Structure 1
Amino acid sequence: MTQKALGEALELKGDCQARIAQYEMGFRTPKRDVLEKMAQVLDVCIYALDTEPEGFFTQLIELLFWADTEDPHLMSLSTAHPDGEPYNSIQAFKIEYSDNDNWLLHDPTMLWFQNTFMDDYLKEWEVRKRELREKTITLEEYTEWKLQWPYSCNGCGKYKTQKQWRVLRKDTSNKENR
């Protein structure tokens, strides 16, 4: 969609193409109602456009999504599982990875959150990245999932998404978006 077409769809007064360009360059900031209408016209979640997202974790996930868009191989996600060892008063963690090709220059540093929301978001993101890697979803579907986030989330199959992001195929057995 061109800047002019977007400006016209938003019913902006004056030079609507220049106004959209100013929004894109950060010279002007659209008011909330314009931002909501823009998200509707572009069919994306408002969080993908909002410069002041609701809450720290939303902002952090959006930042990680854009880093992933710029360099898809920059980050890897993995779920840690308990090793069965008894937990003692010393906080210790052991995280291992398979280094079958010696592809890392050094041991990676792991980061995790003690926050249910962030953990749930990252788990679902891990699933989507794995689906992309295994080619069960396309790059376009993966991008759409990120653009519609958090409305595209389904709790890793626990509930129905609020926003359709998968391309429905006749031969699919996927039950996530039904």
Structure 2
Amino acid sequence: MAIGKRIRFFRNRKGMTQKQLGEMLGFLGRTSDVRIAQYESESRTPKSDLVKEMAQIFDVSPRAINVPNIDSYIGLMHTLFALEDMYGLKIGEIDGELCLRLDKSAGTTYSSMFDMFHAWQEQAARLERGEITKEEYDQWRYKYPELDTSGQQKKVIPSQELSDLITASLKEESE
């Protein structure tokens, strides 16, 4: 999820308007809501000190607002938290092992994600049974959905939030 969507998510979670948040950040008059709208639409990116101020207002870590860096364990955790917010991903325990699962109450998100996860699980099972090589498995993953023969991806329109997250992560790596 891109930083603008995270700001909107946490602002709404606190029940705040753009104007209220802007005023709390010290933007006065007419600029208070305009500035927040610009951050949420991503026509402007808040500087790190402003993100820290927002984090204090929202009572969250600045890492929860920023696009996570999945090259660190903390960044990975915040990515998983964002996936929980966006797609209903839940953590649980089965037979003493931690597992990630989809929340059935997430409606169409659940059925779309279930189909894609199921296609992935089928390929992982084929690898485990020795029906395909690790190279074939990796080829399937890295070219997904192009090489997916389950037909499930045709039901899904890729999420703009996920696309933004991946794009931002790749952009950060190249800088």
Q: TM-score scaled by structure 1?
A: 0.39
Q: Greater strand share, 1 or 2?
A: 2
* TM-score, normalisation: structure 2: 0.40
Comparing both structures, which one devotes a greater share of its residues to helix?
2
